Amino acid sequence: MDKPLIKPKQGIILISEPSLRDFYFRQSVVLLAEHNEEGTFGVIINKPIEARIRDVIKDFPDKDMPVYLGGPVKTDSIFFIHTRRNIDHSLPIMRGLYWGGDIDVIRNLLENDELTDRDIRFFVGYSGWHPNQLDREILEKSWILSHTTVSEVIRADSEKLWSNHLKSMGKDYAIWANFPIDPTFN
């Protein structure tokens, strides 16, 4: 199952190895928003939670937009990624995809129906690694690294993203897509 070596960097996704049992990262796909000598951070893009954005942010437009579990760090905060390059204070992750920005601009765009769930995703918390921590986890084979597209990050069926991405990587990885969440139940 050796694939060409992909290095962690902005815009790469991490796909958890099937036997990873961590509550947050079991069968997860993590979009890396930053990776440098100071560490790594990103968001889990395939774990929607029961709440909607209007339930999480007080005085926010009454939109039926899902919220995702972004990771175990700062779970008392909301983070977002979006496809709008003209939002002040947003940072590019990859071509056509941005991290954060001016929340008042986001609020106005939502109120005016100029932003939909096909343009933005909201997350409770984020995923973070200390310097070299992610590199060690990759060496331990906890993660498979892969390229992705903006469409896959924002518009794909998030609940099937982990298994669908593994299937798209070829037959050696496709078998992992059917790996049970808890192998002791098998």
What is the SS3 assignment for 95? coil
For residue 104, the SS3 value is helix
In a domain, 3, yes or no: no
Q: Could you tell me if residue 172 is inside a domain?
A: yes
User: Does 108 reside within a domain?
Assistant: yes
pTM of the entire structure?
Answer: 0.92
128 is a domain residue: yes
Q: Identify whether 68 is part of a domain.
A: yes
**Nearest residue to 37 (alpha-carbon basis) of 139, 136, 137, 131:** 131
pLDDT at residue number 4: 47
Q: What's the mean pLDDT when you consider all of the chain?
A: 91
Structurally, how many domains does the chain consist of?
Answer: 1
| 78: in domain | yes
Assign residue 63 the CATH number of its domain. Answer: 3.40.1740.10
Domain boundaries, position 71: 13-185
Which residues does the chain have with pLDDT short of 70? 1-4, 180-186
Domain-located, residue 74: yes
